Amino acid sequence: MITTLQNDLLIRAALSQQTERPPVWMMRQAGRFMPEYWAIKNKYSFLEMCKTPEIAADVTMLPVDLLGIDAAILFSDILVTAEAMGGDLSFEQGVGPRFANPVRSFADADKLATDCLPKLEYVADAIKVIQQRLNGSIPLIGFAGAPFTILSYLVEGASSKDFKLTKLMLNNEPKLAHTILQKIADVTVEYLNMQIAAGVNAVQLFDSWALALSWNDYKEFAHYYNNQIISRLNRKDVPVISFCKGSSVFAPIMAEAKPDVISVDWNADLKNIKQSLSAGIAVQGNLDPFVLYADKKVIKDKIHQLFERMRGENGFIFNLGHGIMPDIPFDHVKYAIEVVKEFRY
Ligand code: CP3
């Protein structure tokens, strides 16, 4: 797979090899900050977009064609695994994701299915269409949500500020939490292996809300399952990127799962994190996405500051510390990508 890519900067950086500049892609690069995204979104629901391979491919290709990034990311959502397990998922404008049947008891947990691959076949189909369109130009990143983050949506039934019900379950009913987490982990392994078999060139595990956890709870309820997933993947030459909000704190534990790359939020000094990790673990990040609201000169200076700090470090993928916000001006995102692509070590 690697040898057939025209631009393999991301794969080389993920495998801690030398690159002439850092590769760039951005979380939520195919999304609402793009007028072209809205042109499609106004015709279909979000889940229709995810489940129709031709449309998912059209959206995946928007940042490839309009921004010139070094990697595409599959257009989908982390919550499709939870839906396939039986979650009654909907996305409402301005409200975000909702599960109409939250999972809060052993009876609810028993109902969760684990033979889900047939229901997720549309993702494999989308990957094949996207790879035809990319035609070996740049790598395609597949992804899944990590068990703790998926658990939080299943328990809360929606996005949450404080994860009160989820944390109550971890504290009062840890066995119930572990039962659900193990089911999610099993589905996630099969799902990511399906994506790898369908042709993705890298995979990212999103543990977006791990930040809510204490050190011990992170180890018990997040790391334990992420470690299982990473060690059960048919990785071959497909690098694994481990992302969490909270990675500034949890990086040493994340590293124990042996991902190829740790994606770092914007709180930490990226070079300090990189140097604290064993050789062979690359880092991804970590510009504060709010910088992209600022004047172009500021955007350029902050990117150059980060690059100067990372000079001499192999294994560095430029990205944001979290996703692009929907109201960030498109031309600021485009400008940031140009700044990265013009840079040379
Ligand atoms: O990055 C990409 O461009 C690829 C596609 C992608 C989406 N969601 C599309 C999307 C990816 C990788 C995700 C991951 C995802 N989804 C995460 C992990 C990353 C992160 O941001 O921490 C999480 C937590 C979700 C759950 C989710 N999906 C939420 C909270 C929402 C509501 C939107 C919001 O940010 O408030 C979604 C919907 C969603 N997923 C949209 C998109 C483009 C917006 C859908 C719309 O048009 O209304």
Which domains are delineated in the chain? 2-89+104-150+166-342 (3.20.20.210)
The finding on whether 77 has its CB within 6 A of some atom of ligand 1 is: yes
* Predicted pLDDT of residue 2: 43
Q: Find out whether 154 and 102 touch, Cβ atoms under 8 Å.
A: yes
| Beta carbons within 8 Å of 310's beta carbon, 6+ residues apart | 22, 270, 271, 274, 316
* Predicted pLDDT of residue 101: 97
143 CA → ligand 1 middle, Å: 12
The finding on whether 171 has its CB within 6 A of some atom of ligand 1 is: no
Q: In whole angstroms, what is the distance from residue 181 CA to residue 178 CA?
A: 5
Work out the angle between the directed axes of helices 121-134 and 174-198 (0-180°, nearest 10).
40
Query: How confident is the prediction along the chain (345 residues), in pLDDT tens digits per residue?
Result: 445 899 999 999 999 999 999 999 999 999 999 999 999 999 999 999 999 999 999 999 999 999 999 999 999 999 999 999 999 999 988 889 999 999 999 999 999 999 999 999 999 999 999 999 999 999 999 999 999 999 999 999 999 999 999 999 999 999 999 999 999 999 999 999 999 999 999 999 999 999 999 999 999 999 999 999 999 999 989 999 999 999 999 999 999 999 999 999 999 999 999 999 999 999 999 999 999 999 999 999 999 999 999 999 999 999 999 999 999 999 999 999 999 999 998
The letter for the amino acid at 59 is: V
* Predicted pLDDT of residue 8: 97
308 CA → ligand 1 middle, Å: 31
- The model carries a pTM of 0.97
Q: Find out whether 321 and 18 touch, Cβ atoms under 8 Å.
A: no
The finding on whether 73 has its CB within 6 A of some atom of ligand 1 is: yes
The letter for the amino acid at 165 is: L
With the most atoms of ligand 1 within 8 angstroms of its CB, the residue from 77, 81, 127, 263 to mutate is 77
* Predicted pLDDT of residue 168: 98
* Predicted pLDDT of residue 1: 46
The letter for the amino acid at 236 is: K
Nearest CA to ligand 1 atom 45: 46
* Predicted pLDDT of residue 175: 98
* Predicted pLDDT of residue 345: 85
Determine how many CB atoms are found less than 10 A away from the CB of residue 86. Answer: 18
* Predicted pLDDT of residue 236: 87
Q: In whole angstroms, what is the distance from residue 51 CA to residue 44 CA?
A: 11
143 Cα nearest atom in ligand 1: 12
Q: How does strand 96-99 pair with strand 240-244? A: unpaired
Instruction: Check the CA dihedral 197-153-72-22 and report its sign.
Output: negative
Q: Find out whether 30 and 62 touch, Cβ atoms under 8 Å.
A: yes
With the most atoms of ligand 1 within 8 angstroms of its CB, the residue from 78, 151, 284 to mutate is 78
Q: Find out whether 238 and 204 touch, Cβ atoms under 8 Å.
A: no
208 Cα nearest atom in ligand 1: 22
SS3 69: coil
The finding on whether 326 has its CB within 6 A of some atom of ligand 1 is: no
Q: Name the token pair of 199.
A: 């042709």
Q: Find out whether 70 and 25 touch, Cβ atoms under 8 Å.
A: yes
